[in-house]
């Protein structure tokens, strides 16, 4: 009787151990699979379209995009497309995130402001490259969720805020770079005023159907701007839900 009990207990422990090993190997295999998908994304979606800044490419290799999408889209996380997130918003297409990041010509010491935290993916890409990232989201739920994820992933250089990014973040201005990921009809003066000397800003501007990505540079106190790409972003909205 006693021996039987011992055998049953031992088999139980052995079975749990085997299951644990199996589970761990499935997790490792899945992580390897995602790493492979990221490398493929870098090669086929970014390098082929002119993204050649190694710091930007490395950030795309490192950031686990599948952690930033809704559970039902995890298998599509590395596709060449935007994906829906909560509150009717979107996580942008990897190429657009890369294009905007590369256009800002970032260096490690830069302090960057992002308007439109959304999933947090763009902020994480920036945080791999620069010392500090300030990001503002108007929807409380999105902002809170992104903040929790940044903590989980160990990003201690991302500072989050819930509020209207149209006004920028004066307490931490000026910024070396500003990236706007929701489209207003005109470029907010408040954001221009928060650009440091030598600072760069990239922002989608326009209506619902047609928008241009505009790159601005603040040189010797004068702002020069140029349109660089036609794009389609969600609208920038006020706290009352009106489009800017």
Per CB under 6 A, residues contacting ligand SAH are 89-92, 115-116, 118-119, 121-122, 136-139, 142, 164-166, 181-182, 234, 236-237
Among 16, 25, 92, 227, the one annotated catalytic:
92
Residue nearest to ligand SAH (CB): 118
Smallest separation, CB 142 to ligand SAH (Å): 5
Task: Let me know: does 202 contact 213? Beta carbons within 8 Å.
Answer: yes
Nearest partner of 160 among 172, 143, 139, 142, judged by Cα: 143
Backbone angles phi, psi at 104, to 5 degrees: -80, -5
Q: Which is nearer to ligand SAH, 7 or 165 (CB)?
A: 165
Q: What's the token pair of residue 86?
A: 């909560």
Q: What's the token pair of residue 32?
A: 């390897």
Smallest separation, CB 146 to ligand SAH (Å): 8
Q: Which is nearer to ligand SAH, 115 or 195 (CB)?
A: 115
Q: Report the distance separating Cα 148 and Cα 143, nearest Å.
A: 9
Smallest separation, CB 9 to ligand SAH (Å): 50
Smallest separation, CB 114 to ligand SAH (Å): 6
Helices (H), the chain: 2-41, 54-62, 94-103, 121-129, 140-153, 189-192
DSSP state of 232: -
Q: Which is nearer to ligand SAH, 39 or 164 (CB)?
A: 164
Q: List CB contacts of 79: < 8 A, sequence separation 6 or more.
A: none
Chain centroid to CA 171: 23
Q: Which is nearer to ligand SAH, 116 or 199 (CB)?
A: 116
Q: List CB contacts of 23: < 8 A, sequence separation 6 or more.
A: none
92 labelled catalytic: yes
Q: Report the distance separating Cα 201 and Cα 227, nearest Å.
A: 12
Smallest separation, CB 236 to ligand SAH (Å): 4
Q: Which is nearer to ligand SAH, 25 or 238 (CB)?
A: 238
Catalytic residues: 92
């Amino acid at each position: 009787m006693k021996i039987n009990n011992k055998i049953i207990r031992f088999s139980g422990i052995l079975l749990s151990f085997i299951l644990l090993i199996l589970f761990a190997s499935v997790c490792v295999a899945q992580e390897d699979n995602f790493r492979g998908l990221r490398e493929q994304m870098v090669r086929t979606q970014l390098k082929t379209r002119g993204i050649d800044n190694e710091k930007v490419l490395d950030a795309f290799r490192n950031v686990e995009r599948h952690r930033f999408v809704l559970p039902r889209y995890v298998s599509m996380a590395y596709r060449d497309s935007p994906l829906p997130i909560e509150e009717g918003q979107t996580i942008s297409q990897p190429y657009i995130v890369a294009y905007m990041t590369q256009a800002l010509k970032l260096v490690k010491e830069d302090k960057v402001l992002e308007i439109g935290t959304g999933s947090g993916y763009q902020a994480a890409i920036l945080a791999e490259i620069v010392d500090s990232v300030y990001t503002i989201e108007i929807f409380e739920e999105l902002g809170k969720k992104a903040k929790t994820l940044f903590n989980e992933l160990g990003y201690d250089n991302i500072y989050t805020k819930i509020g209207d990014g149209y006004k920028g973040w004066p307490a931490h201005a000026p910024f070396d770079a500003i990236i706007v990921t929701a489209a207003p009809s005109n470029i907010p003066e408040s954001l221009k005023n928060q650009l440091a000397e030598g600072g760069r800003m990239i922002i989608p501007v326009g209506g619902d159907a047609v928008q241009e990505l505009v790159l601005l540079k603040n040189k010797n106190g004068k702002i020069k701007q140029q349109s660089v790409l036609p794009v389609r972003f969600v609208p920038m909205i006020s706290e009352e839900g009106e489009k800017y």
